[in-house]
Each structure stands twice: as structure tokens, then as C-alpha cells.
Amino acid sequence: MPRPLEPVSQGTRVTLGISFFVLFFAAWAFATLGGFVSRTFLADPITMVQDGWLLLTRFGFLNDIGVTVWRVVGGFVLAALVAVPLGIMMGAYKSCEAFLEPFVSFARYLPASAFVPLLILWAGIGEMQKLLVIFIGSVFQIILMVAVAVGNTRRDLVEAAYTLGSKDRGVVKRVLIPANAPEIAEILRLVLGWAWTYVIVAELIGSSSGIGHMIIDSQALLATGQMIFGIIVIGVIGLISDFLFKALNRSLFPWRLA
Amino acid sequence: MTGTILQIENVSRVFPGVRGGAPVRALEPTNLQVAQNDFITILGPSGCGKSTLLRIVAGLDRPSGGRVMLNGREIKGPGADRGMVFQSYTLFPWLTIAENIAYGLREKGMPKAERQEIVASYTEKVGLRGFENHYPKQLSGGMQQRTAIARALANDPDILLLDEPFGALDNQTRGLMQELLLGIWERERKTVLFVTHDIEEAIFLASRVIVMSARPGRIKADIPVDLPHPRHYRMKTTPEFSSLKAQLTEEIRVEAMQAEGVH
């Protein structure tokens, strides 16, 4: 019997992690191939793989994937470039926080998807609109989370820096920022995951390319295999980017693991 | 007799009451003169305002009344002329040991070559050769506090302030750290203000022990320690040391009882 909080070995961890995927696909195959669910509503795994192969080889789905990834990364990088410095300012300077925090907290609850019709009106249905959806969806989240992280910097580290002769700018640049860099990277990793939801929403409406566009196109054809393949591709890309982000954080901040 | 370096004039501190409660008088108007090269320990039960006094000298807290003069200039805020070692481990976790020691020098804008020389000398003095490229997390508590002392000293401050720096260490390590600090002081003759609640530590290190009373804090006794230097840990068992210890134990006991509400 496992006991609470008892660690498991790396091997067990991997085995257990994979076995859920196996279980999931087995249940899916059983439900569809066994004839318990109508094929019109849910394709079986084999059809899904065949449809996916067709998409990739015949219908240029790789191009759609590329477009979607570009949009997510583009919108997300723009959001991070604006939000991280603002968040640091808010965390470091309480007057800045008092000025911006109420508005950002309010804006954070505005659903990015609700902006899609408005953004189409403003920016058309081009790339700019897609980037803006992701930007709006990510920027306020990053600002707030970074501000909280920076605001929670250990006071004794800041005091130590002052007694060593740091001035205010030095404290921000050489204590607040490096102390919170790993957490900021962690926040970016988290919000990048959310950005994936926004891009699909943006692509479902008024788009001629991208994974979301393919999914909405397939709906018209009742091609559930293609739709599921599209969804799974998003999941896989998310998993890969998450993994890369974690690896990058580990190599950037070795002191955290020391 | 060397000149006065630090002058504490009528310094008091009142903390405002929480949620409409009565304000807390942490420190009664206090006067203290610190001579150049003195090693002063401030001894008192917890909550006697000794740390508050030290933080005011460091510039990390503002006095409610009075002022602190360092070399004739009033202290307005923290600065590199007063090095501080905290009870908590305050090394910057993202910097290596060598980079931590060099932190203050970098803030001064000292060129790298010069920095390296000073860092090497202080790494040597606190016995951390070979650990220059380690991160603080990889070091024991005692080693981290040695680094913190080196980091404060590398800045060459006029006065070194220590706030129960060995409070979190085990007894054996604490003893070794006391000897190390005393050794550095005997060689370099820095002016030191050292806050502690440990009577033995206070006597062993000090040339002067200031005893503080329980809340509200004020100076209750000012006792010179004329034990010879260099001091060796065996001094802690000599009759002179013991009689000082007995005297201070009495002084502190009354205060501790008052602080705890025992009569």
C-alpha cells in the first residue's frame, strides 16, 4: 500500500504515466470499435490515425500547425515583453501597484474569447487579430502573477542588499529580478499553456488556416477523426513546449536545484 | 582611548498599535557611545528591543525619537559604511559564494581584478577556500554565516553589526564561529556591535557587554569585560569568566522573568 507523501521511483513514475495513456486509448477503442458509440459522433482511434495521416500528407496540415504555433508564440512573446517589465514595476513599487493593480485585476476577468468579434471589427481577420486575442488573453495574467511574485521577494535579502550599499535601482536589478527570475519563467510556462486555448478560439472564427480552422472545417464534414487528431496534436505540442520550457528553466537557473 | 565612532542619542522606537490597539514601546530613549575598535555585545531576553536598536543603527528601521551618529554624521538609511549579518540566512541564492562576497564591491563599481583579490583574501579568512563556486544551498548553516560575515567585511565597513548571527546554529558550530569571529576581530580590529541572548557568547566575544531590560527595552547595565586577548575557548571555564557569567545570569534572569510575566 502506498503511504501518503511517500516518493516513488523514476521507473514507476514513467510506467504509471504511460499506463494511463494506454488505458485511455483502450477505453476509447473499446467504446468505438465495440460499437457502443455511433461513429458519426466519435471516430475510433484507428480512423483518427488514418485521418491524421491523410491530413499531414495530402492536406498540408503541417502548414496549419506551423501557422498556429507561430501565432501562439508571436502573441505570447508580445504579451511577455509588455507584461514582465510592468509586473516587475508593480511588484517593486507600491505606488505603481496601487495605480495599475485594480485595472489589471478587472481586465484579467475579461474573457479573451469575448473580444474576438470586436477584434475582427478592429483588426480584420488577418494575423494581427489572432495575435491580439492571445495578447489580451495573456498579458494581464502575466502582469498580475509577476507582480505578486516580485512583491513577495524575501525582505531580508532586500535589506541585506541595502546594507551592502545597493541603491534602489540596484535592488531592483540585482535582487528583485534575479531572485524572481525562475518564478517568472514558471509563470510564462503556465500562461503559454493558456495561450493555446485562446489561439484555437481565435482560429475557430474567421480564419483560413491553423489547427482551429481545420477543426471547424472538419465539423462541417462530420470528420470526427480529423477533429480529434487536431485536438490531440495541440495536446502533444503543449506537452513538448512544456518539456522544453522546463528543461530551459533548469539550465538557466542551476542555483535553484543546487 | 580611541575616539567615539558611533553615538546613539536618546533613540527610542514605538510601534503603532495593530487594529486600534495600544502602541508598543519597543525601545525607551537609549544612549550609547561606541568607541573605535570596540567589540560590544548587546545582551537581553527576546523582545527587549535589542534587534530594533541594531536595525536602527543599520538604517533599516527609523527611530521614533533621537538620532544615531556615525563618525559625526546622522544615519538616515542603510549604507555600505555599516555591514550587517542577519540571523536568517541572507546570502543571495542565485550567486556563488565568491559572487556573494563580491556583491558590495560590485555595487561600488570596483573593477573585477581588484574585486577578485579582496574576495580571495576573505574567502581565506573565513576558511571557505575551495567553495568559491558553490551556491549557498550547497553549504551548511555555519558556512553560510561565515560567507555572510565575509560578505559584510569585504565591503570594509566602519562598523560591523551582527544580529544573533549564530542563533540558528548548533552549539558546537556556534562555538567555532565565535572563535573565528573573535580571531578576525583580534587581527583586524573592526568596531563590532553584536546582538545576542546567549550569556556565554556575550562575554566571550565582548570588550563590553550591554545588558538590556525586558519590554520596553532600555539599557540596564554596561559591563566591561577585561579578559585578556587572544581569547581561547578554554577561557569559558576560568573563574573570571564564571563570575562574570554568574553576574550577568542574575541580571538577565530578572528581565526574562519580567518578560514572561513570572514574579
B144 and B190 together in one domain: no
Beta bridge partners of B7: B33, B69
Q: CA of B24, closest CA in chain A: separation in Å?
A: 22
Contact call for B152 and A164, based on CB within 8 A: yes
Report the number of distinct structural domains present in chain B: 2
Report pLDDT for A40: 82
* Same-domain status, B71 and B165: yes
- Can you read off the three cell numbers belonging to residue B35? 568607541
Which of A120-129, A199-208, A237-246, B244-253 is modeled with the greatest confidence? A237-246
What pLDDT score does A258 carry?
62
Same domain membership, residue B142 and residue B47 = no
- Region A163-174 average pLDDT: 93
Residue B263 scores a pLDDT above 70 = no
Q: Same structural domain for residues B152 and B165?
A: no
Q: pTM for this structure? A: 0.86
CB contact under 8 A, A163 and B138: no
Residue A102 φ then ψ, to 5°:
-60, -45
Residues in chain A with CB shorter than 8 Å from the CB of B84 are: 159-160, 163
| Nearest CB to A157; choose among B77, B90, B134 | B90
Task: Judge whether residue B57 has pLDDT over 90.
Answer: yes
pLDDT at B1 over 50: no
* CATH label of the domain that carries residue B223: 3.40.50.300
For B165, the grid coordinates are 548571527
Highest mean pLDDT among A75-89, B164-178, B197-211: A75-89
Residues B117 and B197 in one domain: no
pLDDT at A84 over 90: yes
Cβ atoms < 10 Å from Cβ of A157: 21
HSE-CB at B89 with a 13 A cutoff on CA atoms is 18
Q: Is the pLDDT of residue A95 over 70?
A: yes
In this prediction, residues A95-121 reach a mean pLDDT of 89
Residue-wise pLDDT tens digits, A6-22: 888 999 999 999 999 99
Question: B222 and B139 in one domain?
Answer: no
Q: Which residue, B156, B174, B209, sits at the end of a domain?
A: B156
- Closest by Cβ to A163, choosing from B83, B92, B95: B83
| Mean pLDDT of the region A50-70 | 90
Give chain A's domains with CATH numbers. 44-257 (1.10.3720.10)
**Which of B54, B87, B92, B108 best tests the A interface by mutation, with the highest count of A CBs <10 A?**
B92
How does residue A103 score in pLDDT terms, banded at 50, 70 and 90? very high
Range in A89-98, A111-120, A177-186, B158-167 with the lowest mean pLDDT: A111-120
pLDDT of residue A18: 94
Position of cell 510575566?
Answer: B261
Q: Which of A157, A163, A258 sits opposite B84 (nearest CB)?
A: A163
Q: Please give the pLDDT value at position B191.
A: 93
pLDDT category, B72, cuts 50, 70, 90?
Answer: confident
Cβ contacts of A256 on chain B, cutoff 8 Å: 93
Is-contact B229 B185, C-beta < 8 A? no
What integer best gives the mean pLDDT of chain B?
Answer: 89
Q: Distance between CA atoms of B240 and B246, rounded to whole angstroms?
A: 10
User: What is the arithmetic mean of pLDDT over A16-30?
Assistant: 94
Question: Which residues does A contribute to its contact with B (CB < 8 Å)?
Answer: 154, 156-157, 159-167, 170, 174-175, 178-179, 181, 253-256, 258
| Interchain proximity A178–B90, CB inside 8 Å | no
Residue pairs spanning A and B at CB distance below 8 A: 76
To probe the interface with B, which of A163, A171, A173, A183 has the most B CB atoms within 10 Å? A163
Looking at residue A75, what is its pLDDT?
A: 93
Task: Please give the average per-residue pLDDT across B204-215, as a whole number.
Answer: 88
Chain B residue numbers with beta carbons less than 8 Å from the beta carbon of A156 are 86, 88, 90
Does one domain contain both B216 and B140?
Answer: no
Q: What is the pLDDT of residues B20-34, one digit of tens each?
A: 888 888 888 889 999
State which of B97, B132, B156 marks the end of a domain: B156
Same domain, B186 and B206: yes
Range of the domain at B199: 1-16+23-81+160-263
The mean pLDDT value of chain A amounts to 90
Q: In percent, how much of chain B has pLDDT > 90?
A: 49
Task: Provide the CB-side half-sphere exposure for B14 (13 A, CA).
Answer: 10
Q: How is residue A154 written as a grid cell?
A: 524575501
Residue B156 predicted with pLDDT over 70: yes
Q: Which residues contact A220 (CB under 8 A, 6 or more apart)?
A: none
Q: Can you tell me the mean pLDDT for A118-127?
A: 85
| One-letter identity of residue A218 | S
Closest Cα to residue A215, out of A49, A65, A31, A38? A65
Whether residues B74 and B106 fall in one domain: no
Which cell numbers in the block locate residue A256?
535553484
Instruction: Give the angle A56-A60-A61 at the CA atoms, nearest 5°.
Output: 60
Of B96, B126, B156, at which residue does a domain stop? Answer: B156
Q: Which residue of A has its CA nearest to B102?
A: A164
The 8-class DSSP code of residue B217 comes to B
Q: Are residues B9 and B102 in the same domain?
A: no
Examine the domain organization and report whether B75 and B113 are in the same domain. Answer: no
Which of B90, B118, B122 is the best mutation test for A, with the most CBs of A within 10 A?
B90
B212 closest CA partner among B37, B22, B94, B42: B42
| Greatest mean pLDDT range, A48-57, A103-112, A147-156, B165-174 | A147-156
Shared-domain flag, residues B75 and B204: yes
pLDDT score recorded for residue A181? 94
